[in-house]
Amino acid sequence: MFRIVSVVLAVILALASVHSTTAVNRDTDARCSGWAEVGECDKNPGYMRKECQASCDRYDQKMGIESHANIEGITNFFQLSAKDIDGVDFPFKNLEGKITVVVNVASHCGYTESHYRGLKMLYDSVKSSEKVEILAFPCNQFGNQEADSCSQIKRFAVEEKGAEYRMMDKINVNGPMASPVYKFLKREAGPPTISWNFATYFVISPSGEVRSFSGVNPMELEELILNMLDTEL
């Protein structure tokens, strides 16, 4: 009799556990999925991890765990390299002694027009110095807004948006497949997660110091860069 009661109790506890897990992993708002896609699980965890747990679980699985194993020996920006949009390896040692701006871009984003316009204006204002480089990394991790091939992206950026700065190969900026470049930049200056296309601009000094600026337009960096040209070069 005792054995039967034990078995019944075990079944009840197991069912309760399943019910509890199912109840916790739910969304309480139909907008949870969209919020999770734009990074709210990390930016507003107090609410999101409680009220949008199912969407945050899916977001976590998508982003994965970001390992820094492949940048453990990297102590300076100029030790890195990346492929440009034509697939040619570009060593960052070529950037030493220059000011470098890094941003992730997309061709079909609500910010595309304003930020590509701003990037052109910024580059036009500093290119005569020959001491400023902009590296634009296409990324398709946000809303599937950079799904085109590299050749299509290059044609769009150069022919339609007037990009004269360096267009880079398409990469991931978050998650286990994130580019070592972005792993390094986030480790050095934050934020821990890039929230969207054009969301964060990194400015690297001629000596390799990394600073990050989130929620800015490209031309907001002009004064900083001009001051750096005056004081550091």
Which of these, 173, 177, 156, lies nearest to 214 by C-alpha position?
A: 173
Running DSSP on this structure, what letter comes out for residue 158? I
Read off φ and ψ for residue 193, nearest 5 degrees.
-135, 135
Measure the CA–CA gap between 141 and 189, rounded to whole angstroms: 21
Q: Based on the residue annotation, tell me whether 32 is a catalytic residue of this protein.
A: no
Which of 52, 109, 139, 150 is flagged as catalytic?
Answer: 109
Strand, coil or helix: what is 55?
A: helix
Distance CA 116, CA 197 (A): 11
Count of beta carbons in the 10 Å neighbourhood of residue 21:
9
- Which among 90, 110, 103 has a CA at the least distance from the CA of 138? 103
Residues 126, 129: Cα–Cα separation, whole Å: 6
- Please list the active-site residues: 109
